Amino acid sequence: MRVPLSWLRDYVDVDLTPEQLAERLTLLGMEVKGLERWGAEWHNVVVGELLAVEPHPRADRLSLTRVTVGEGEPLEIVCGATNIAAGQRVPVALPGAVLPGGRRIERTEKMGVVSNGMLCSGDELRLTADADGILILSDTAQVGTALVELHGDVVLDVDVKPNRGDALSLIGLAREVAAATGARVRWPDTDPVERGRSVADRLAVRVEAPDLCSRFVARWVSGVRVAPSPDRVQMRLLAAGVRPVSNVVDASNYVMVELGKPIHTFDAAAIHPGVDGRPTIVVRRAASGEPLETLDHVHRTLDPDTLVIADPVAALGIAGIIGGASSEVGEATTDVVVESAVFDPVAIRRTGQRYGLRSEASLRFEKGQEVRLARIGADRTARLIAEWAGGTVAPGRVDTNPSEPDRSTVTFRPARVNRLLGTELSTDEQRALLSRLGLESESAEPDDRVTVALEPQPLVVRTGADEAVTALVPTWRGDIAIEADVAEEIARVRGYDVVPSILPHTPMPGWRPLPLEVRDAIRDTLAGAGLSEVVTHALVSPRLLDGFALRQPVPSVGGEDQPGGQGIEVTNPLSRDHSVLRQGLLGSLAEVIGTNRRHGREDVAIFEVGKGYAREGDETCEWWRLGIALTGPAESAAWNQAERHWDVDDAKGIVELLCQRLGYATPRYAADPDEPILHPGRSLRATATDPTGEVQLASVVGELHPDVIERWELRTDRVVVAELALAGLAGGQMQDVRSSPPPRHPPVERDLAVVVAEDREAASVADVIGESGGDLLRSASLFDIYRGAPLAGDEKSLAHRLVFAADRTLTEDEVDEAVARIARALRERLGARLRT
Amino acid sequence: MIRRAASEEIVDLAGLTRELHALRDEAVAAARSAASTSELEELEVTLLGKKGRLTVVLRGIGALPAEDRPRVGAIANEVQAAMRAAFADGAATLRARELGERLGAEAVDVTTPARPVRRGTLHPVVETANRIAAIFGQFGFQVYEGPEVEDDTTNFRMLNIPPDHPARDLWDTLYVDVPDHLLRTHTSPGQIRVMQSARPPIRALLPGRCFRYEAVDASHASEFFQVEGLMIDQGTTLGDLKGLLDQFAQAMYGAGRRTRFRPGYYPFTEPSVAFDVECLVCGGSGCPACSRTGWMTILGAGMVHPVVLQYGGIDPERYQGFAFGMGVERIANLRYGVGDLRLYMENDLRFLEQFR
Ligand SMILES: [Zn+2]
């Protein structure tokens, strides 16, 4: 809320600098977000007195004025306005002046006459809405004074929290200032002077939806002359961020800023009479499809959840949100009906959201209204209309529900307040602090109850042996309902610096495993291997989701939710680019590669730990994945090394590194030529188990299909990607190593060159060796692949180094026997032969 | 009787002695002048080997009279020892010279650039969240995680934000096509999930990704990370919160930082506070970074609202506690001097690789 300080001072004395006031309000919970020097934009604009106004010698529509600004010779200034006369005081922009919006004023020649500056309109200064006439200043304004000294102001931008609708008003903020400084709040005079025929004779009001409109107060002002408001009013409204319209409309807006009470005014002549001949207002739900042209000249079709203010013929406006065009107060208006009502906050909020219409008025209605303000607001508005627009206020009000609730009470235990805050404030001190907010209090009666909570079921306790206090809550503080609310009021009026800084000394919870352990081990391992971690959006475009969907998603391990359900869409996305939740990480990582390649980056080696999301019916699923993407040089060319590009073997190496780190077996590889986004000849599934044989890692690894690289403009020739499901990513512990002493007996090594058909996978050879090797075989590693003479054209030789060991010295015979067994198995199962 | 040696030379004591000394002198000179270890080894074989010249000379001993033999034997031993010593010396000298030559030849320009070792980096937001968890971990706070697609009830209702409550304006929400579900707008629903799964004493920390309907600019993001803290016990007060957050500010931003509490507003805490730290840029004197207030707000907090405790199944008459929530990017901004939130999700390696 914008708070012009000069206006605030109408309601409370402030003996503080604007900065001090801003800090006090902030420390009170009314955070001042900004402090604007209103008028700081006027440079070199001073008060001048018109000495003479004469016709311009060569232009009928211009005047030639002589103006004194105090010192020096009077200035000749050419002016186009017609509202000026000698003797008036006016704002003069001297040559070199700068006006709001950065407009510079220089000495210029206008139709043969030199003009030494400019006389300013209120609009040019952004002081009033009047763009036609020159702003006429008070006769008492000191000639030569800088205008900023006369009409400058400081405007505070106060962030009023949603629970404090009462403070969305100058009177409410004046109460806060008073609580902080001890000053007194001054209410404005609200009673209008009443004359003539009573309002009851002139107007009828019927509320047909009392659930949505608990009170409707109307006033009648007759014989008004609609015109611009006094300059002073316009200046205040503009500083408060409200555009001046006319004296009648401005009066209602003025009261909204002043009291926080939204008011609407109608042209009484536009309200159709009811059966008894009186103009009649009906508050009802709209008929389905009922038309209404609103003040913004939009033709709307209403729905039956909408509360309208109507006459017997048609809707006149949407209650609490926006008026209708037909009953708008205009220049021809003579009689005005003032509406000051209390509407259901939820209904107003929903209606505003439905129509996409939220105004200063509806924001206040949404936060709830103090009931008595309906009466006071109507009175005050009628009084101001009569003051600014002339006219007569008809005696009395139409009031559909004049009863005004009394103050509620809240009972609290000062000891509990101290226990919440960690303070030792005496009961008297707590009561004194509350009284500064208008909460009068006394010792609680034995049967007073303390409300601890209201929802989901009320928790109300006896005061017991504790000393308790019952406070009367001012009607505007509907937000104070439970004991904890009182604690907050006490703390904020006292100042939060009363809260001590102590270290918790209460019992500790029992041990709980850290769910980040495995995830962080994986992240550290990958960073150590030269990959950089990225964080990308979980919300992606449908195109990316579809474009990188795996035909066969990587299955979850370790009991996590499985992928493969339906995608989850955002129903109100900010943009299509971020409108669906991703189900894997590959698309996002590809985008990061594209971004970095566009920046001219050669090598990109990245990983991300993130979630995939889907739904199974109305159930949502989330699963963690590790994504890896590699492109460009793994080793860059340097004087001492050749360039080497990332390839699938690197990705497999990274998978094996993780298996090693996490204590899993060496992963098993299986070709996967069927993923459309991957290179059919360079893609695989890698799976690894823990020592118990449980699958702990499942993954897809491969090169992106060249079509995908082209379609997504990744600007690189090859991209190696992997997506892994890993047990523990979602929360798990590192498993302790089971160690064994190093072997005391030397191992025996044998090399075995296995000749197989070209299409035979290396993994199948390794499998047969492993399965047939027996207890003595410790490892078998492929160290060479040979093709060419003397092998046949469709043959290759896979040379393995076999390592045999046992807890004793091996004999040549038993090793020979194991090798023979392996050779036999290779021959029988794979048709392989040995090359010697 | 005089016997003839195979060489037909006449063997007598003096001659044999002369011959041995000559052999010794020759060996000493040769060992000194050998050009390489291999040449030296060859010489050694020639002179001292089984079929070497010394052996040949010594064969003559048998032809000497028996009384002369011990004398010559002694001289022969002396000569042999001297020859061996000469060769050992020569070998040592040669080895030292040859090693020196090798090392000289192997010298490289050590000022050339290294062979690069690939280096990866960890993301500053994840690292900052982990750092926050580590700091609070020292005070017994335990990490929990919750779902990101959250139900409306847990995200709002149970946090004392009923449907159609004006406070909902504080969270611009992204809704999804699963009935009554949304993308969590904060980590606070985790409070409910922790309370429903653990009994006091509770010290919980909830890091994670959050979502808002928020147009993206330098200081707003539609996806971001938060860390929520929750502590519940019988005597947990706002003072405990202040003490703990003071420790946190010291740990994160260095010792001696002034801090303050001021009133804040969250429907799920009562009283609510905002926690400010002395501006890290100007040190409190006022600058554009702190809107000239000298303070920077780093998190929001408060005493858990009794309604929230009740929804969590905890009796607010018996237990009380505090909760706090902070934006990880904001903490990271201050920690690393980052001015634009967008950098974190752009993933330009030129930015990310600065975080070593
Ligand atoms: Zn600063």
DSSP tag of A745: S
Q: Which of A21-30, A164-173, A206-215, B84-93 has the lowest mean pLDDT?
A: B84-93
pTM for the whole structure: 0.90
Side-chain-facing half-sphere of A526: CA atoms under 13 Å: 28
A373, A399, A425 - which closes a domain: A399
Q: Do A245 and A269 share a structural domain?
A: yes
Beta bridge partners of A670: A685
Beta strands in A527-618 (DSSP E): 532-533, 539-540, 580-581, 604-616
Do A188 and A169 form a contact (C-beta atoms < 8 A)? no
**What residues does CATH 3.30.930.10 cover in chain B?**
124-355
Dig out the tokens for A502 from the structure. Answer: 């102590």
Amino acid A465: pLDDT: 65
CA angle at A218 for the pair A214 and A220, rounded to the nearest 5°: 175
3-class DSSP state of A431: helix
A467, A498, A529 - which closes a domain: A498
Q: Give me the residues of B, 63-122, that contact A with CB < 8 A.
A: 112-113, 115-122
* Residues of chain B neighbouring A349 (CB-CB closer than 8 A): 164, 166
Q: Do A85 and A6 share a structural domain?
A: no
Tell whether A823 is covered by a domain. yes
CA angle at A663 for the pair A659 and A665, rounded to the nearest 5°: 60
Q: Do A639 and A528 share a structural domain?
A: yes
* Residues of chain B neighbouring A636 (CB-CB closer than 8 A): 116
Q: Give me the residues of B, 242-271, that contact A with CB < 8 A.
A: 242-244, 246-247, 260-265, 267, 270-271
Tell whether A735 is covered by a domain. no
Q: Do A433 and A339 share a structural domain?
A: no
Amino acid B4: pLDDT: 44
3-class DSSP state of B232: strand
Q: B286 alpha carbon to ligand 1 midpoint, in Å?
A: 4
CA angle at A416 for the pair A414 and A421, rounded to the nearest 5°: 95
Number of domains in chain A: 6
Cα distance from A310 to chain B (closest Cα, Å)? 25
* Residues of chain A neighbouring B119 (CB-CB closer than 8 A): 527, 530
Amino acid A309: pLDDT: 97
Dist. CA B141–CA B232, nearest whole Å: 11
Amino acid A199: pLDDT: 97
Helical (H) or strand (E) element with A814: helix A812-830
**Alpha-helical segments (H) within A700-795:** 706-711, 762-772
Q: Do A562 and A523 share a structural domain?
A: yes
A195: which residues sit within 8 A by CB, 6+ positions away?
A: A392, A393, A394, A395
| pLDDT surpasses 70 at A67 | yes
Q: Do A126 and A251 share a structural domain?
A: no
Task: Tell if the CB–CB gap between B348 and A599 is shorter than 8 Å.
Answer: yes
Q: Do A47 and A33 share a structural domain?
A: no
How confident is residue A258, by pLDDT bands cut at 50, 70 and 90?
A: very high
Q: Do A370 and A280 share a structural domain?
A: yes
Tell whether A340 is covered by a domain. yes
Query: What's the distance, CA B75 to chain centroid?
Result: 70
Best residue in B176, B196, B232, B303 to probe A by mutation, most A CBs within 10 Å?
Answer: B176
| pLDDT surpasses 70 at A593 | yes
Among the partner residues B122, B164, B222, nearest to A574 by beta-carbon distance: B222
**Phi, psi angles (nearest 5°) of residue A179:** -65, -35
Question: Which is nearest to A590 in space by CA: A622, A529, A552, A547?
Answer: A547
Dig out the tokens for B25 from the structure. Answer: 């002198």
Tell whether A137 is covered by a domain. yes
Question: Which is nearest to B122 in space by CA: A596, A585, A606?
Answer: A606
**Phi, psi angles (nearest 5°) of residue A507:** -60, 150
Cα distance from A192 to chain B (closest Cα, Å)? 34
Among the partner residues A502, A516, A596, nearest to B243 by beta-carbon distance: A502
Amino acid A466: pLDDT: 65
CB proximity B149 to A under 8 Å: yes
A-B CB pairs within 8 A amount to 285
Tell whether A740 is covered by a domain. no
Residue B25: how many other CB atoms lie within 10 Å: 14
**Percentage of chain A with pLDDT > 90?**
88
Q: Which residue of B has its CA nearest to A495?
A: B262
Tell whether A189 is covered by a domain. no
Amino acid A522: pLDDT: 98
Dist. CA A556–CA A625, nearest whole Å: 9
Cα distance from B187 to chain A (closest Cα, Å)? 16
Residue A590: how many other CB atoms lie within 10 Å: 25
Dist. CA B245–CA B299, nearest whole Å: 9
A369: which residues sit within 8 A by CB, 6+ positions away?
A: A165, A261, A342, A343, A345
How confident is residue A728, by pLDDT bands cut at 50, 70 and 90?
A: very high
Q: Which residue of A has its CA nearest to B295?
A: A23
> Counting beta carbons within 10 angstroms of the beta carbon of residue A785, is it exposed (0 to 12), middle (13 to 18) or buried (19 or more)?
exposed
Residue B342: how many other CB atoms lie within 10 Å: 13
| pLDDT surpasses 80 at A464 | no
Q: B292 alpha carbon to ligand 1 midpoint, in Å?
A: 6
Instruction: Spell A419-448 as b/e; 16+ CB within 10 A means b.
Output: bbbbbebebeebbebbebbbbebeebeeeb
Mean pLDDT for A595-600 is: 96
* Residues of chain A neighbouring B317 (CB-CB closer than 8 A): 452, 459, 461
Helix H, strand E, coil C: the string for B267-331 is CCEEEEEEEEEECCCCCCCCCHHHCCCCEEEEEEEEEECHHHHHHCCCCCCCCEEEEEEEEHHHH
Q: A594 alpha carbon to ligand 1 midpoint, in Å?
A: 38
Cα distance from B319 to chain A (closest Cα, Å)? 10
**Alpha-helical segments (H) within A479-558:** 483-494, 517-528, 542-547
Name the pairing type of β-strands A213-222 and A398-399.
antiparallel
Mean pLDDT for A415-439 is: 97
* Residues of chain B neighbouring A611 (CB-CB closer than 8 A): 148, 209
Q: Is the domain B124-355 a CATH 3.90.700.10 member?
A: no
| pLDDT surpasses 80 at A836 | no
Do A617 and A661 form a contact (C-beta atoms < 8 A)? no
A726, A761, A787 - which closes a domain: A726
Cα distance from A645 to chain B (closest Cα, Å)? 13
Dist. CA A742–CA A733, nearest whole Å: 27
Dig out the tokens for A543 from the structure. Answer: 């195109």
Residue B327: how many other CB atoms lie within 10 Å: 20
For residues A370, A375, A381 and A382, what is the CA-based torsion angle, rounded to 10 degrees? 180
- Asked if ipTM goes beyond 0.85, one says yes
Mean pLDDT for A615-629 is: 96
Tell whether A574 is covered by a domain. yes
Distances (CA, A) of A790 to A800, B164, B328: 19, 83, 65
Domain that holds residue A176: 2-39+155-181
pLDDT in tens, A545-567: 999 999 999 999 999 999 988 99
| pLDDT surpasses 90 at A112 | no
| pLDDT surpasses 50 at A154 | yes
* Residues of chain B neighbouring A633 (CB-CB closer than 8 A): none
CATH number at residue A16: 3.30.56.10
Q: B283 alpha carbon to ligand 1 midpoint, in Å?
A: 6
Which of the pair, A448 or A337, is modelled with greater confidence?
A: A337
Mean pLDDT for A337-342 is: 98
Distances (CA, A) of A445 to A189, A448, A449, A460, A524: 38, 5, 9, 15, 64
CA angle at A50 for the pair A45 and A55, rounded to the nearest 5°: 115
Dist. CA A265–CA A248, nearest whole Å: 8
Q: Do A587 and A638 share a structural domain?
A: yes
What average pLDDT does chain A have?
95
CB proximity B165 to A under 8 Å: yes
Dist. CA A373–CA B185, nearest whole Å: 35
3-class DSSP state of A567: coil
Do B208 and B149 form a contact (C-beta atoms < 8 A)? no
Helical (H) or strand (E) element with A254: helix A247-259
Q: B253 alpha carbon to ligand 1 midpoint, in Å?
A: 14
* Residues of chain A neighbouring B202 (CB-CB closer than 8 A): 509
CA angle at A363 for the pair A359 and A365, rounded to the nearest 5°: 115
Q: Which residue of B has its CA nearest to A348?
A: B164
Q: Do A164 and A147 share a structural domain?
A: no
Q: Do A32 and A70 share a structural domain?
A: no
pLDDT in tens, A698-708: 999 999 999 99
**Phi, psi angles (nearest 5°) of residue A816:** -55, -40
CATH number at residue A758: 3.30.70.380
Tell whether A294 is covered by a domain. yes
Per-residue pLDDT of chain B (356 residues; tens, 9 = 90+): 444 444 445 567 788 888 888 888 988 888 888 888 888 899 888 888 888 888 888 887 877 888 888 888 888 889 889 989 998 999 999 999 999 999 999 999 999 999 888 889 999 999 999 999 999 999 999 999 999 999 999 999 999 999 888 888 888 999 999 999 999 999 999 999 999 999 999 999 999 999 999 999 998 999 999 999 999 999 999 999 999 999 999 999 988 889 999 999 999 999 999 999 999 889 889 898 888 889 999 999 999 999 999 999 999 999 999 999 999 999 999 889 999 999 999 999 999 999 98
CATH number at residue A121: 2.40.50.140
CATH number at residue A594: 3.30.930.10
Q: Do A31 and A59 share a structural domain?
A: no
Task: Tell if the CB–CB gap between B140 and A528 is shorter than 8 Å.
Answer: no
B272: which residues sit within 8 A by CB, 6+ positions away?
A: A488, B263, B264, B265, B266, B300, B301, B302
